[in-house]
Amino acid sequence: MTFDEFVKIRDYIYRKSGIFLGDNKQYYVEKRVRDRMAATGHQSFQSYFLSLRFESSNKEWQELVNALTVNETYFFREYPQLKCFAEEVIPSILEKKEVQGQTPIKLKIWSAGCSTGEEPYTLAIILEEMTAGVVSAPVTFEIHATDINTDVLGRAKTRLYSQRSVKDVPHEYMDKYFRRRGQMYELSPHLGNYIKFYQLNLLDSTAMERMENFDAIFCRNVLIYFDDNSRREVALYFHAALAEGGYIFLGHSESMSRVTPVFKMVRLKNAIIYQK
């Protein structure tokens, strides 16, 4: 792949998904495009690129996106943020809803860029453990788990994870929620009932406008793949999707203040997060 060809497909990927691949990613992109060319029988970059652009089904576009967006993650990642969510944010939201007279109290959480499912399942464990007994009203919750990559969503639904994925799960939760299956660990089936997995492109304005009334959004280590303009656009979609007073959690090295001023930075005991 020449540099000009790399720029052509890099810019096309950016326009369709908001994902920006810098010049240092040329080899990374080239290898995956070469694999897709072999899989689809194209002998030249030009032939593959034209087919990619003009196919009506978008099937090959999805295959290429899947090849480019595999991200490793694990359960209970960035534990201080999760501790903040469990011990500070959940009680605050529940108490506010109780004062408002909501019964049963419903919590709606979004894991944006959920990859293979470790984050939304972690949130389901935390919510199941931490919502009981906080308020007098009954509490229900649902988690929306989205990703642009359909392969990782399929893997998430299997509920099967490697030793690396579960290495940071507290012992009491391992015993309660996981079962050994050969070299893998199977997550308790009932946790899947709390979660709706589906594909979503964060730069798809039509789809994003349907996302609404979330009490908290987790979008950790996802916006790093966007440029400044795309980050700002996605951040504004998140702001619209949150309920008034809702919270957004970014990766520990990310800052919403550098993206847009519409969120209020909140310093809590265990983490810095952002609020609508």
CATH number, domain of 112, equals 3.40.50.150
Q: What would the pLDDT profile of 229-253 be if each residue is shown by its tens digit?
A: 999 999 999 999 999 999 999 988 8
The whole-angstrom separation of Cα 50 and Cα 39 is 16
- Answer yes or no: is 74 within a domain: no
Q: What number is the average pLDDT over the span 30-47?
A: 94
Query: Final residue of a domain: which of 68, 101, 117?
Result: 68
Place of tokens 């979330």: 214
The DSSP string of 132-170 is TTSSSS-EEEEEEEEES-HHHHHHHHHTEE-TTTTTTS-
Looking at the fold, whether 53 and 141 belong to one and the same domain comes out as: no
- Answer yes or no: is 178 within a domain: yes
> Is the pLDDT reported for residue 45 higher than 90?
yes
Q: How confident is the model at residue 72 (pLDDT cuts 50, 70, 90)?
A: confident
Q: What is the CATH number of the domain that holds 34?
A: 1.10.155
Say how many C-beta atoms besides its own lie within 10 A of residue 63's C-beta.
Answer: 18
The whole-angstrom separation of Cα 52 and Cα 58 is 8
- Answer yes or no: is 73 within a domain: no
> Is the pLDDT reported for residue 257 higher than 90?
no
> Is the pLDDT reported for residue 177 higher than 90?
yes
CA dihedral 215→132→268→114, nearest 10 degrees, is -50
220: domain range? 79-275
Looking at the fold, whether 9 and 114 belong to one and the same domain comes out as: no
Looking at the fold, whether 147 and 268 belong to one and the same domain comes out as: yes
> Is the pLDDT reported for residue 70 higher than 80?
no
Q: What number is the average pLDDT over the span 95-104?
A: 93
- Answer yes or no: is 106 within a domain: yes
> Is the pLDDT reported for residue 185 higher than 90?
yes
- Whole-prediction pTM value? 0.90
Q: Which tokens is 136 given?
A: 């007098």
Looking at the fold, whether 223 and 245 belong to one and the same domain comes out as: yes
Q: What number is the average pLDDT over the span 39-53?
A: 94
Q: What number is the average pLDDT over the span 31-44?
A: 94
Looking at the fold, whether 40 and 135 belong to one and the same domain comes out as: no
